[in-house]
Structure 1
Amino acid sequence: MNVLISIAAVVLTAWSIGVHLWVQSPVMQFFVSSAAVIPLAAIMGRATEAIAARSGERLGGLLSATFGNAVELIIGVFSLKDGLIPLVKSSITGSIISNLLFVLGLSFFVGGLRHPIQKFNVRVARSHGSMLMLGIGVAFVVPTAFAYGAAHVSPVLSYGAAAVSLVVYLLGLYFSLFTHRELFQAIQHEEDDASAPSRPVLVHVVLLAASTVLVSLESDWLVGSVRSIAAHLGWSEVFIGVVVVAIIGNAAEHASAVWMAWKNRMDLSLEIAVGSTLQVAMFIAPVLFFIGALMGVPFTFAFTWPEVVSMMAAVLLVVVLVMDGESNWLEGAMAFGAYVVLAAGFYSLPG
Structure 2
Amino acid sequence: MEWIKLVINLKGLVNHLLNRLFFLVVVIGVPLSVIGSLMHWPYVLMFVIYCITIVALAGFMGRATESLAIVAGPRVGGLLNATFGNAVELIISIFALKAGLVGVVLASLTGSVLGNLLLVAGLSFFVGGLKFKRQEFNVYDARHNSGLLMFAVIVGFVIPEVFSMEMAEEQTLSLSIGISVILIALYLAALFFRLVTHRGVYQHETDVVDEHEKPEWSAKFAMIVLILATIAVAYVSENLVHTFESVGERFGWSELFIGVIIVAIVGNAAEHASAIVMAYKNKMNIAVEIAVGSTLQIAMFVAPVLVLISLMFTEKMPLVFTIPELIAMVTAVLLTISITNDGDTNWFEGAILLAAYLIMGIGFYLL
Whichever of the two has the greater Rg, that structure is 2
Answer yes or no: is the 8 Å Cα contact 1:41–1:249 preserved in 2: no
Q: Compute the displacement of 1:48 (Å).
A: 6.2
The residue aligned with 1:117 is 134
Aligned identity (percent) is: 44
Answer yes or no: is the 8 Å Cα contact 1:42–1:253 preserved in 2: no
State yes or no: 1:142 paired with 2:159: yes
Answer yes or no: is the 8 Å Cα contact 1:48–1:67 preserved in 2: no
The residue aligned with 2:111 is 94
The residue aligned with 2:149 is 132
State yes or no: 1:333 paired with 2:351: yes
Answer yes or no: is the 8 Å Cα contact 2:75–2:289 preserved in 1: no
Cα deviation code 1:298-333 (max 9, x no counterpart): 112101111111100000001111122222222221
Cα deviation code 1:207-227 (max 9, x no counterpart): 444434333322221222333
Q: Distance in 1 between matches of 2:76 and 2:134?
A: 34
Q: Distance in 2 between matches of 1:260 and 1:337?
A: 22
Cα deviation code 1:73-95 (max 9, x no counterpart): 12212221222212211111111
Answer yes or no: is the 8 Å Cα contact 1:43–1:208 preserved in 2: yes
The alignment's TM-score, normalised by the length of structure 2, stands at 0.83
Aligned residues: 348
The residue aligned with 2:242 is 224
The residue aligned with 1:320 is 338
Q: Compute the displacement of 1:23 (Å).
A: 4.0
State yes or no: 1:162 paired with 2:215: no
The residue aligned with 2:8 is none
Q: 1:302 aligns with which of 301, 313, 320?
A: 320
What is the one-letter code of the residue matched to 1:213? I
What is the one-letter code of the residue matched to 1:326? D
Runs of 5+ consecutive residues of structure 2 not aligned to the other structure = 1-17
Q: 2:266 aligns with which of 235, 248, 255?
A: 248
Q: Compute the displacement of 1:342 (Å).
A: 0.4
Distance change >3 Å, CA 327–CA 155, structure 1 → 2: same
The alignment's TM-score, normalised by the length of structure 1, stands at 0.87
Answer yes or no: is the 8 Å Cα contact 2:70–2:213 preserved in 1: no
**What CA RMSD, in Å, does the superposition of the two structures yield over aligned residues?**
3.0
What is the one-letter code of the residue matched to 1:109? F
Task: Please state whether the residue corresponding to 1:141 is helix, strand or coil.
Answer: helix
What is the one-letter code of the residue matched to 1:264? N
Distance change >3 Å, CA 302–CA 272, structure 1 → 2: same
Q: Compute the displacement of 1:187 (Å).
A: 6.9
Cα deviation code 1:71-119 (max 9, x no counterpart): 1112212221222212211111111111111121222222233333332
The residue aligned with 1:346 is 364
Q: Distance in 2 between matches of 1:264 and 1:346?
A: 33
Q: Distance in 2 between matches of 1:191 and 1:281?
A: 33
Q: Distance in 1 between matches of 2:190 and 2:100?
A: 32
Task: Please state whether the residue corresponding to 1:139 is helix, strand or coil.
Answer: helix
Pairing of 1:268-283 with structure 2 (within 5 A): 268-283=286-301
Runs of 5+ consecutive residues of structure 1 not aligned to the other structure = none
Q: Distance in 2 between matches of 1:327 and 1:59?
A: 22
